[in-house]
A and B are shown apart, each in its own frame.
Chain A
Amino acid sequence: MSGTGAGDDTGSVVSDADATVEVGEPLVKVRDLKKYYEDDGFLGGKPVKAVDGVSFDIRKGETLGLVGESGCGKTTLGRTILGLESATGGDVTSNGREVASLSGRELREWQRDAQMVFQDPDASLNDRMTVGEIVREPLDAHDWKGRTERKERVFELLDLVGLNEEHYYRYPHQFSGGQRQRVGIARALALEPEFIVLDEPVSALDVSVQARVINLLEDLQAELGLTYLFIAHDLSVVRHIADRVAVMYLGDIVELGDTEAVYTDPAHPYTASLLSAIPGSHTETERRRITLRGTPPSPRDPPQGCRFATRCPAKVRPAEFDDLSATAWERIDALHTVLRERQNAESGLGEQLKRRLGLAANASDIEEVVDDLFERDGGGAGGGPGDDGLLTDAARTAVEDAVRFARQGDDAEATAVLREAFGSVCNRERPEDHVVGDDGRTSACVRHTDEYDEPTVVIDRRYGRDDD
């Protein structure tokens, strides 16, 4: 049951590369894939870096889970791999075919080999067509055999996904969410693909239905030898279905490895934080819950260096500030985030003009923030952060400098000051993938080098029970 079904393609030559990939070998290779969305705005602006240099393999016959917070670029990655979005850079190859540059017969072949199941079965099925027409459409689009064979094939597919033949003439409206998703799966299977991107296929369904659809997907994989890229934000679903899992943050894959290994012993600080967010999970890992502060930064302007540095619980800190308390770091990071956000805030033309002219745009905001963060007593405009012992002298000087710039409306300079003072290798270098463990797992964190302590060790030290 592999590949395009060579016999179906009457008269046309079938690619030699077809079906040469053994189970376990890479079926789809993604190398340094980038997808930027350019801004059409008048003032130009930076592109949104939805996927920013991602490399991994999807092995034949496996289920690769892709997890991450909303907006981290999971779906874009899946769509770019399929060729639904044109990649900005890098490439996707499968069976020796370069997906981005395919055209004509080869493109048609790829469109048969790779399919997608969409998140929302309400939205992905045209509700003016009957289920039969919907499932038959890929066959029609590829001129698959004759009319009667197509109808037979649709009946076969409906049966395969657990629907009945009499559903052929019903409309999507008449089905429950789970049944609709089965229709979507039947449509994806119509052309006998070998690779399917499942874009959060169960997240729109009732929990009671999710399990059944997941089981169906697993059965189909076993029966048809399918390869899945399973995109989800529900970590427990991924743990259930995926053989390997890739963790994505802000357009980048931070950790990739065998599901069980990643789940039981996360290597990357982000993975650790994410897993710790699963209710009940911290009892299993015997670790305190690590709260991820704030929201991910805008992909339009990702942080320099490590993407996760702004929220990282294991961020490398400069030696001279070693004696700062956890609370102090939390506050400083918060101030940093506020300043960054101010800097990148979409501001109107008037605001921009004011800033250019050096007029303080919204100085009062920053005063309030600093007051809140450092409990500064209202000692007039010149008053520095409070002397409650939270900050050391050096730290306080840096914070004061930053606040001064911010007060003048120069958020860029203020951010730079903070980065200069409290930044580290995490803010300067984009970490490379490091192999961790003995099963080829990779994790992109500088702490995997010998120079630094392992992330988990640091997290335990900073957030572990003894630190309580």
Chain B
Amino acid sequence: MSTITDSEDPAAIAALDGTESFLERVLAYPRPAAVWTVVALALFALEAGAVAHFVATLLVDLVRALPGTYDPAAFSRLASATAQVPTLLSRETIPNAGYWNGRSFVGTFLQLPPHLAWFLRVGLVYVYSFAFVAWIWVGFDRYRRYYRAADWSPRDDVIDRFRNHYWGIFGLVVVFMFVVMAVFAPALGPTTVEKNMQNPYGHTITHWDAEQNEPTQVTVGQANRASQSRGTRTNNVAPLSYDQFGRYHPFGTLPTGRDLFTFIAAGARISLVIGLLSVSLSIAIASTLALLSAYYKGAVDLSFVLLSDAVMALPQLLLLIMLTVVLSGTWIGNLYNGAFVLALIFAGTGWPYMWRSFRGPALQVAQREWVDAARSFGQRPTAIMRKHMLPYITGYVLIYGSMTLGGAIIAIAGLSYLGLGVNPPTPEWGRAVNAGQPYVDTVSWHISLIPGVLITLVVTGFNALGDGVRDAIDPESDSAAGEAGGRGGGA
């Protein structure tokens, strides 16, 4: 239990009597903290340019989204300036462009074939991401070991239990890989959404024309038309293959000739943003109402029951269709290609289910004596709810949040499969499944199958993570929250 007093710990730490603040403890033995900080900064520096660029573009988008006539020029300059900062994991550092001129590769990265360059880039992105997380874990471990005044906390047990929960760790890894895919989407794709989908005729590529025996320029749009996957032997670009323009397609192409991997990576971002936004909004509403319900009970509780019943009685799909039609073209309907409205609708209709799940545990914890004790010395209700009740429903929040996120991803995919939801041509997994539907039993099976399998895998990952968190938080409630996993379909 006690790591502070381990004999291997330096005397400086052993000499502390356990009453110092965090800062005092760091100053008493600064080496682990210093080493950690230096390595963390070095890791961050590799990607600092990308982060700065991301923040700058976010600012530009924000200024544009605001109803007003502010000039985003200043921010646009900032954005283009930050784009120039070299980062290790950008497509500029390790490009997968270039062609084979019959004898050697021209313009490729280190004379490597483009697919190897692409694999190298993807590998580096994932190595970097895992290293980053591992380093954060090292930091936490050092904090726990050297700097935390408490030598044990209940959260340590939770973490220990999770570390032995292999199904949960599987979920965590899947979810993490999905998140990395979403975060690094522009760097991961063999090409970009802008070049390949949004403005294909505004960009050109150079390829080796074997007949004329010389490099030829062609627009991406033309190249796409010639590399469609339409279910016949002659008209198909399979996964892990090059098209006739020397472009590498890890997941093959769509029926339109667009690159499926780029499409999926960008779609992951949309799914994650909608999922996170809707689930966190739902959680915020649901947990607040659950705490109020449990603390005040009676009329407050009853009114929330009625409200949630009313919301649950709304037909979600009809509401979605109606609102997407009504709001299309308005500024809010165009925010993030319609994803923002989707997230709002999911949150607005999804919170009652969560509220119902949180209400029970919240009612239970409100009965605990420490809540009474806090009331007896005049603690404010908000503080009681925050300090004495919320920590006890956080576990449920994580579990249901994780599982609902999986559900939201299915729902978004389902909607775009039906032709609703995110505005085309913004990539969305469900639309890929839909596009490939006529070709499932042909050589172009990859169009539907790959995104379909990925959806299943990611949703399973989120559910597994939820299971793991639940078992870690409360080892006795093996199936207490099990019914949450079933909900998901949404649309």
Instruction: Tell me the A residues contacting B by CB distance below 8 Å.
Output: 82, 84, 107-108, 111-112, 115-116, 118-120, 123-130, 137-138, 140-142, 155, 165-166, 168-171, 173-174, 184, 187-188, 190-191
Contact = CB atoms under 8 A, between A and B. Distances in A.
Contacts of B372: 84, 118, 124
Nearest to B380: A141
Contact of B374 (A130, A137, A155): A137
B253 to A, nearest CB: 53
Interface residues of B, number: 28
Query: Across chains A and B, which 9 residue pairs bring their CB atoms closest together, nearest first?
Result: A111-B378, A166-B18, A169-B149, A169-B150, A123-B369, A138-B377, A124-B369, A126-B370, A141-B379
Contact of A124 (B153, B373, B383, B392): B373
A173 B368 CA distance: 16
B370 A125 contact: yes
Contact of B376 (A108, A115, A127, A142): A115
A366 B149 CA distance: 68
Contact of B373 (A107, A116, A130): A116
B142 interface: no
A126 B388 contact: yes
Given A138-B379, A166-B18, A170-B151, 6 more contacts: A84-B375, A118-B369, A127-B154, A141-B378, A168-B19, A169-B149
A168 B21 CA distance: 11
B54 interface: no
Contacts of B17: 165-166
A84 B383 CA distance: 17
Nearest to B365: A126
23 contacts: A108-B378, A118-B369, A120-B369, A123-B369, A124-B369, A124-B370, A124-B372, A126-B387, A128-B154, A128-B392, A130-B150, A137-B379, A141-B374, A141-B377, A141-B378, A141-B380, A142-B377, A165-B17, A165-B18, A166-B19, A169-B151, A171-B152, A171-B154
B378 A112 contact: yes
Residue of B149, B377, B378 with highest tally of chain A CB at under 10 A: B377
B258 to A, nearest CB: 51
B102 interface: no
Contacts of B38: none
B35 interface: no
A291 to B, nearest CB: 34
Nearest to A84: B376
Nearest to B391: A128
A67 B90 CA distance: 76
Contacts of A129: 387
Contacts of B379: 137-138, 141
Contact of A155 (B19, B376, B380, B387): B19
Nearest to A116: B376
Interface string B350-374: 0000000000000000001110111
B1 interface: yes
Interface of B: 1, 17-19, 148-154, 368-370, 372-380, 383, 387-388, 391-392
Contacts, number: 89
Contacts of B369: 118-120, 123-124
A111 B1 contact: no
Given A127-B154, A169-B18, A191 B391 contact: no
Contact of A170 (B150, B368, B388): B150
Given A128-B391, A165-B19, A170 B383 contact: no
A97 to B, nearest CB: 14
B378 A137 contact: no
Contacts of A119: 369
A187 B377 contact: yes
A322 B1 CA distance: 72
Contacts of A169: 18-19, 148-151
A125 B151 CA distance: 19
Contacts of B388: 126
Contacts of A108: 378
A120 B148 CA distance: 29
B61 to A, nearest CB: 39
Contact of A118 (B19, B373, B380, B387): B373
A35 to B, nearest CB: 15
A117 B379 CA distance: 15
Contacts of A126: 370, 387-388, 391
Nearest to A191: B377
Contacts of A142: 377-378
A130 B369 CA distance: 17
Residue of B17, B369, B383 with highest tally of chain A CB at under 10 A: B369
B389 to A, nearest CB: 10
A170 B377 contact: no
B386 to A, nearest CB: 12
A259 B377 CA distance: 30
Nearest to B17: A166
Contacts of A130: 150, 153
A123 B368 CA distance: 7
Nearest to A108: B378
Given A129-B387, A187-B373, A171 B150 contact: yes
A171 B149 contact: no
Contacts of B387: 126, 129, 137
A275 B377 CA distance: 35
Nearest to A154: B19
A153 to B, nearest CB: 13
Given A84-B375, A125-B370, A126-B388, A174 B1 contact: yes
